Amino acid sequence: MSLSAQLLNRIQNRSARVGVVGLGYVGLPLAVEFAKNGFQTVGIDLDASKIQAISRGTSYIGDVSSEDVRALTASGRLSASTNFGVVASLDTINICVPTPLRKTKDPEMSYVVSAVQAVAAHLHPGMLIVLESTTYPGTTEEVVQPILEESGLKAGVDFFLAFSPERVDPGNPTFNTHNVPKIVGGMTPACSTLAQALYGAAIETVIPVSSPRVAEMVKLLENTFRSVNISLANEMALMCEKLGVDVWEVVNGAKSKPFGFMPFYPGPGLGGHCIPIDPFYLSWKAKQTGFEPRLIELAGQINAAMPHAVVDKIAVALNEHRKPLNGSRVLIAGVAYKRNVSDVRESPSLDIMWLLHQRGAQLAYVDPFVPCVGRHEWAGGWELQRESLDPQTFAAYDCVVILTDHSSFPWDDMVANSRLIVDARDAIKGRHPHVYRLGAPVPVRATAEALAAV
């Protein structure tokens, strides 16, 4: 029986031992799904605190319950280690490590390279390796395959190699690892068959494509699509301000059309581990071929400028209320990059906080999901602890700036007790003289008596 047939049989009867490298927002949910579906699953991560948490039966990812982790570790189907030596006893490996950008906007591939090298040290015939980390088209063939083949084993013959892009949307109550369709592109037909079988055992829908390069491109198209359309929404917001039109009303009107339109909304900038980063992977690779991706580059510039536009809006609002930005007390409402999650990676809130600090504002923040902003998480370089979420806090600041529209924020209390609000998310419904909204005209100036009563 061939190596591929042997591994396929082991996957189908759940005797294959599965490994997941990188136990973050992508890796831990994937490992849990494999374990739930009968595989003995080992998670590998260099962060000892994650290994300790899993060993205790505790989840540190919002989309994974501690009850699931506890039950799976107790049954022996899920374990975790910092030691890559366990790879020698595994049949499959999914690599789910970060792929950030350097400051020069080119790919930072050191995490992928380090993970692949660690796997290669224990590679053995008959293994399946799948890269999930978002990257540029060609990475699997140009980076991963050569490192693995330094062992003397041949991809598609002695071991099997594929790419399957992660599609995680943290905090999404409807779509998760189990029910989001999985794209799979193998180096050879046998590689694709094995990767499809592995994912098909734990995920509802698996969609094969012809190669890893196509699968890599699928992920970049998805996130570039969002980046470009969000940039259009952001430019419309700035344009509407100049024209005296409410962009939120415009979008809500346009989305009533049942065909030919998909609503995207403006905001303070892009955040998270994908959309602010992935289009630059594609742009970087395209430039190597001599192709100039003008639309992608322009979208990136528009989105990157939004934190500056928000700070300018704050300065205008304070000036309307006879206060300079320099010296004003500003309370940031929401530092996570999106609603109802604790993730602050690439959050535009952190950029806005730094810009406000540079212009002399005194800063604080409230966020029910983020108890602390570490000194290494933002350019300010010092640690911030969140303020209490109550009317007295809102009343103590010159301006409250809504940057993340968490559903648990007490909007009525915020409106009733804040002296001034700048809303970058259209979180405050109705019109109020002391609420300035991104993408909307400046509110009608209130009377001195009304301002004094706020």
Q: What is the mean pLDDT of residues 303-308?
A: 97
**Burial degree of 395 (CB within 10 A; 0-12, 13-18, 19+):** middle
Active site residue 274: yes
Sorted by sequence, the CB contacts under 8 Å of residue 358 that are 6+ apart come out as none
pLDDT of residue 226: 95
| Predicted pLDDT at 452 | 55
Domains of the chain: 3-210 (3.40.50.720), 220-297 (1.10.1040), 304-453 (3.40.50.720)
How many Cα atoms within 13 Å fall on the side-chain side of residue 251? 21
- Let me know: does 361 contact 350? Beta carbons within 8 Å: no
Coil/strand/helix, residue 437: strand
- Is the pLDDT confidence value at 419 over 80? yes
| Residue 451 in this model has a pLDDT that exceeds 90 | no
Integer Cα distance of 320 and 165 in angstroms: 48
pLDDT of residue 328: 98
94, β-bridge pairs: 20, 130
Q: What residues have CB less than 8 Å from 55, skipping those under 6 apart?
A: 73, 79, 80
Q: What is the widest separation between alpha-carbon atoms in the chain?
A: 87
Q: What is the pLDDT of residues 180-211, one digit of tens each?
A: 999 999 999 999 999 999 999 999 999 999 99
Mean pLDDT of the chain: 95
If pLDDT is split at 50, 70 and 90, which confidence band does 102 have? confident
Q: What percent of the chain has pLDDT over 70?
A: 98
Tens of pLDDT along 3-52?
A: 999 999 999 999 999 999 999 999 999 999 999 999 999 999 999 999 99
Contact 227, 270 (CB under 8 A): yes
Residue 146 has pLDDT above 60, yes or no: yes
Query: Which residue among the candidates 191, 240, 274, 399 is catalytic per the annotation?
Result: 274
